Structure 1
């Protein structure tokens, strides 16, 4: 099943070119497990979710080390009917979508609790879209229940849920939201915006 993300990093600095190019170098250790293509708008990252989200985490952390306010936007997708299957995308592990919703919520929370910490606090907001799935609202509500008990939940907002915490658990929360809910064979999209080193406490 095809899975990947289009990712863009935005450092709020006059030195944005060096920060972005330096951050992209953080993806080098992942090149044997991801297909990477960078253009003037974004970096395409194609691969299994358990590789995709740690690689996105490393990209964002590399940019945040500058200390300047940095944001990142990612559109993440799996099972898109317009994309061909790619063997590189085969997941090694994932919460079984056939499990009852309550069991998936607990399994996803357990995964976040054991995520490694990075020392960098970040904020995020996400929206999950289980596409072409008859009971999509049950899956969305289940995901929201997971997020509220994840330990990274900040608050509910219109059209999205806000997270805050160490980058390790936050990115694992995103990974679990993406893989633990919706149809296992269906098209799932996740829209994510992240921020670090913001001068605003909001």
Structure 2
């Protein structure tokens, strides 16, 4: 696989894991997989993570749906993901980049009302004037009812899971559109935690 920059094939990928904090973890994971339509993404699971690749809208659609389907069962569930697009590139031969832009899981996900807490860090690489874009997208999250706070090495988001995922997708997309040749975003999200907020 070529490691050069400058590819026009903007494949998005996510390497993620879901951790149900319960003895029912096998049932929760299997149920989530059965509920989510992954037919518009390339997907592979190993003993550490699941990787999905394809158009940005479908990658976020699948990862959002996986987490919300797991969280709706009421158990404490943690989601960790690294999203990436751009340089050092990706192989296009096995990715469904020709799919249309209609998310397959959107209507089901929207019906899941689930409060979440998340922390994310964004790493734009290779050019672009992106700081104003990031700040403007964070302001948009606030307007949508997501609570935004600074945290060590990250930004904390609290609110409805769909609104949080919407905000994460928007800040990722707009940073890439602003000229970042390679954009990476790390996300940790928790639902139904018995812990008090903050942990300071």
| TM-score, structure 2 as length reference | 0.78
Aligned counterparts of 1:80 and 1:90: Cα–Cα separation in 2? 20
1:174-202 CA-to-partner distances (Å, cap 9, x unmatched) read 11011012444611111001100011230
Partner of 2:116: 122
Aligned counterparts of 1:149 and 1:170: Cα–Cα separation in 2? 12
Aligned counterparts of 2:34 and 2:87: Cα–Cα separation in 1? 28
Aligned counterparts of 2:175 and 2:46: Cα–Cα separation in 1? 31
1:152-185 CA-to-partner distances (Å, cap 9, x unmatched) read 1331112211111111111111110110124446
Q: Is the 8 A contact 2:148 2:157 kept in 1?
A: yes
Q: Is the 8 A contact 1:54 1:171 kept in 2?
A: no
How far off its partner does 1:84 sit? 2.5
Aligned counterparts of 1:89 and 1:186: Cα–Cα separation in 2? 18
What secondary structure is seen at the aligned counterpart in 2 of 1:176? helix
Tell me whether 1:156 sits opposite 2:155 in the alignment. no
5+ residue gaps in structure 2? 1-9, 102-108
Q: Is the 8 A contact 1:130 1:187 kept in 2?
A: yes
Q: Greater helix percent: which structure?
A: 1
How far off its partner does 1:146 sit? 4.1
Aligned counterparts of 1:160 and 1:91: Cα–Cα separation in 2? 33
- CA separation of 1:61/1:141 partners in 2, compared to 1, >3 Å: closer, same or farther? closer
Partner of 2:25: 16
| TM-score, structure 1 as length reference | 0.77
Larger deviation: 181-190 or 126-135?
181-190
**CA RMSD between the two structures:** 2.4
**Aligned residue pairs, count:** 179
How far off its partner does 1:122 sit? 1.1
Q: 1:79 aligns with which of 68, 82, 86?
A: 86
- CA separation of 1:90/1:69 partners in 2, compared to 1, >3 Å: closer, same or farther? same
Partner of 1:103: none
5+ residue gaps in structure 1? 94-114
Partner of 2:105: none
